[in-house]
Amino acid sequence: MNNKEYAKIILSELNQTLPTIDIEKSNQFVDLLLNAKEIFCAGAGRSGFAVRGFAMRMMHMGLNSYVVGETCTPNIDETGLLVVCSGSGSTKSLVNHAQKAKEVGAKVALITIDPESPIAKMADVVIEISAPSPKSAKAGEIKSIQPMGSLFEQSEALYMDTLILMLMERKHMDSDTMFGRHANME
């Protein structure tokens, strides 16, 4: 196969995951984002890369967003929201972050494959993405030509871009207003 044929299959797979995400839960997620004083984003591996992009776009919107583990990230309190991206929903470090957030009274939002995971049980909103992953309880149930958790990681990144569009609509923003916060020391 060539790159165009693979791209067609990947887009077809994404067209099977993204439309199945619950609309009401997405609206709840946006409400949590808008009501949080500060938003803390956490993920491991490729999910961590995806959630970093989400944190950056929220910063472009003027929201107080941070990436957990960075040296300039403040402490979370009861006014905060922890956004966790974890296919398995059981990565130990991310479970610990969710536990800490709940201990201080913060809200937790989870994007995952497994809505019955340890983090899901603590979360205020759980966004389920039906994608295969070797670390998921659903391993083998859903098929993809892509390796490991690629379909989930792509789906979560695109899903978070849909959240940004929803936030932009609710805040009456456009790309031009956001670009004013784009890094100028590149």
Write out the catalytic residue numbers. 153
Distance, CA of 66 to CA of 151 (rounded, Å) = 25
Distance, CA of 121 to CA of 99 (rounded, Å) = 11
Environment class of residue 55 by beta-carbon count within 10 Å: exposed (0-12), middle (13-18) or buried (19+)? buried
Instruction: Please name the helix (run of DSSP H) or strand (run of DSSP E) that holds residue 46, with its range, or none.
Output: helix 45-60
Q: How far apart are the first and last CA of the chain?
A: 38
Give every CB contact of residue 9 below 8 A, 6+ residues apart in sequence: 145
**Residues, the chain:** 186
Q: Residue 57 CB: number of other CB atoms within 10 A?
A: 18
